[in-house]
Amino acid sequence: MIWRASGPDDSARKTGWFTSSTRLISTCLQSAATTTGFGLAGKAVKEETRDKRHAPQRGRGAVSNPDSRYADQRREAVDDGWYAKAPGPVRTELAVDASRTVISRNRSPDLPFDRSLNPYRGCEHGCIYCYARPTHAWLGLSPGLDFERRLFYKPAAAEQLRRELARPGYRPATLVLGANTDPYQPIERRLRITRQVLTVLRDCRHPVAVTTKSALILRDLDLLGAMAADGCVAVQFSITTLDAGLARRLEPRAASPQRRLEVMRALARAGISVGVLVSPLIPGLTDQELERILEAAARAGASRAESLLLRLPLEVEGLFTDWLRVHCPERAGKVLSLIRQCRGGRLDDPRFGTRFTGAGPVADLLRQRFELAAGRLGLMRRGAGWEPDASRFRAPGPAGAQRSLFDHETEC
């Protein structure tokens, strides 16, 4: 395999010789294989000369690594017919994120919260459908494999959070941890940034909602339990499928579905409000499991449920399509057709109001199924300790100030 590079204004004059050479070599190889009997005939020829551009790698979700949409040039893998050595393991690389603030604000009418905090950019879980993948292009990196292996962490996140909460004009409201990337992805085990952030939130009694796929959250049961006693925490587990094999391909480094249910049960027994997010719902691939996921979550102690239709913004559209054709080729056509039926003939619809739900008969049927099942299981009710309490918030005191015996009543 070789790479062909081209810029946005390249002409055939610049790359034509390269393309022609590649095609000529590939054609000659295939011809020689079929006429000389080198053990490559019939199906063997197709097997040996098939497109090697999208090869799955163990422990990774994306099967390709397209350039950033802001790059001056584009690289395209071309199968030239020559033997290609299997790629080695893709190792995770870490770098510091020097952002000067950590609380992100949004004014989206589709979201039930207006602020979030992400200790990490990129996510090692490698979920192929992740809508946050395109954000890696802002860094000049690929939303494909780079999003899973070139990660950025915020070492000063807890201190920055403390400063932002101490501002005179700050008004508390639920802060979401995990709105973009999972706060408990594998590197958190070593870096412990999420735990530091939770410690600040606990000390200030600031309301927080955590969304995760990881069993690592059990490590922080002491903090979460204390916050639950003050009514200022809720945890939501994302479950896409109960099929362990499919989950390993969709979200290769996340906890298994059964493990997530076990962790949900443990948190619920500790008095922590737990919910389930059946997301993304992928028509033709995971939608048949909708009712079973809700039933399993209810047995595990979930008090609330939500469901979001698969979104394929920007580069995610191509990444997910490539993934389907590699891992589920026999279902790819059906899945893509059903998605288009939910998106007005397109694979993605970014409009507010429909981007999370879709529109049309297929989307309506999925919504009705969810509402019927969740309602029957008692997962549609509001309250039940799900809305974190902001009334007990206490702003942080000056850094380094001596604390009194009554600090827990006045400031954190």
* Structure token digits, residue 316: 């995610």
Domain that holds residue 345: 93-376
Q: Is residue 68 part of a domain?
A: no
Residue 237 sits in a domain whose CATH number is 3.80.30.30
Q: Is residue 76 part of a domain?
A: no
Letter string b/e over residues 384-401, b meaning 16 or more CB atoms within 10 A of that residue's CB: ebebbebeebbbbbeeee
CA torsion sign, 56 to 60 to 63 to 66? negative
Return d(Cα 150, Cα 379) in angstroms, integer: 38
Omega within 30 of 0 (cis) for the link into 109: no
Please list the residues that pair with 307 across neighbouring strands: 278
Please report how many Cα atoms fall inside a 13 Å half-sphere around the Cα of residue 86, on the Cβ side.
5
Candidates 233, 213, 207, 211; CA nearest to 221 is 233
First to last CA, the chain: 58
Q: Is residue 261 part of a domain?
A: yes
Q: Is residue 177 part of a domain?
A: yes
Q: Is 86 exposed, middle or buried (0-12, 13-18, 19+ CB in 10 A)?
A: exposed
Q: Is residue 43 part of a domain?
A: no
Rounded to two decimals, the pTM is 0.83
* The one-letter amino acid at 362: V
User: In total, how many domains does the chain have?
Assistant: 1
* Structure token digits, residue 60: 């990774």
The per-residue pLDDT string of the chain (412 residues; one tens digit each, 9 = 90 and over) reads 545 555 544 433 333 333 344 443 344 434 443 333 333 333 333 333 334 557 788 889 999 999 989 988 888 777 777 766 666 778 999 999 999 999 999 999 999 999 999 999 999 999 999 999 999 999 999 999 999 999 999 999 999 999 999 999 999 999 999 999 999 999 999 999 999 999 999 999 999 999 999 999 999 999 999 999 999 999 999 999 999 999 999 999 999 999 999 999 999 999 999 999 999 999 999 999 999 999 999 999 999 999 999 999 999 999 999 999 999 999 999 999 999 999 999 999 999 999 999 999 999 999 999 999 999 999 987 655 568 999 999 999 765 444 444 444 445 6
Spell out where 260-382 has E strands. 273-281, 304-309
Q: Is residue 73 part of a domain?
A: no
* The one-letter amino acid at 290: L
Q: Is residue 57 part of a domain?
A: no
Q: Is residue 24 part of a domain?
A: no
